[in-house]
Amino acid sequence: MSIEDGEAAADTLRRSWVIAVYRAPKEPSTARVAAWRRLHRLGGLYVGPSVCLIPRGLTEQRALDQIADGVRSAGGTFDILVVDAFSEETQALLAGRFNSARDAEYSEVIERAQALKVELEREGGRGKFTFAEVEENEADLDRLKRWLGTIGRRDLFGAPGRSGAEQSVREAGEILRRFAERAARLEEETPP
């Protein structure tokens, strides 16, 4: 496959969409909520109640089958429609809405990274430079990095909020690195 062929295939996957249309019982809400959550995780963009668009490049048939099985086993319906391409105007509208959804997720990452920075500053201000603090905050930073990666994989249209989220996570990592260095130095300097 040539580079041009690969680029054309990638463009086709960005331009084609899967439409998931489902009805799930209101009670119990388990199947409805599970479908909602799982479709969002795939990068779904809700355009109406129980109508979700997913860029074809993000869909996995196995994942859709599992969601469908959950809705159908609860007594609901789940249909998949594939649209090869929308008009240019509609495609631009959908890409914009998709980017807005990713930017909302990136904003959450920034908010959580800020909270991590504040936590480190607060604990540092208390002189609480301990291994437990380092370990706890490393776990939080690792979760943020994984979440940022997950959002990045869904970000097919280049949402503008990505760079700010990446920067915020890098800054939190740098603050944590300095915190850990100080904790190690203080422990080394303090006799048992």
Nearest to 74 by CA among 20, 19, 21, 29: 29
Q: Average pLDDT in the 117-133 region?
A: 92
pLDDT at 188 over 90: no
CATH architecture of 3-85: 2-Layer Sandwich (3.30)
pLDDT at 5 over 90: no
pLDDT category, 187, cuts 50, 70, 90? confident
- pTM here? 0.84
CB 6 within 8 A of CB 58: no
Q: Average pLDDT in the 55-59 region?
A: 91
Domain boundaries, given as residue ranges, for the chain: 3-85, 90-189
Give the dihedral of Cα atoms 156, 147, 103, 90; nearest 10 deg. 30
Where does residue 132 rank: exposed (0-12), middle (13-18), buried (19+ CB within 10 A)?
A: exposed
Residue 169 has what pLDDT?
98
Q: Average pLDDT in the 120-135 region?
A: 91
Residue 191 has what pLDDT?
65
Residue 116 has what pLDDT?
96
How remote is the C-alpha of 28 from its chain's centroid?
27
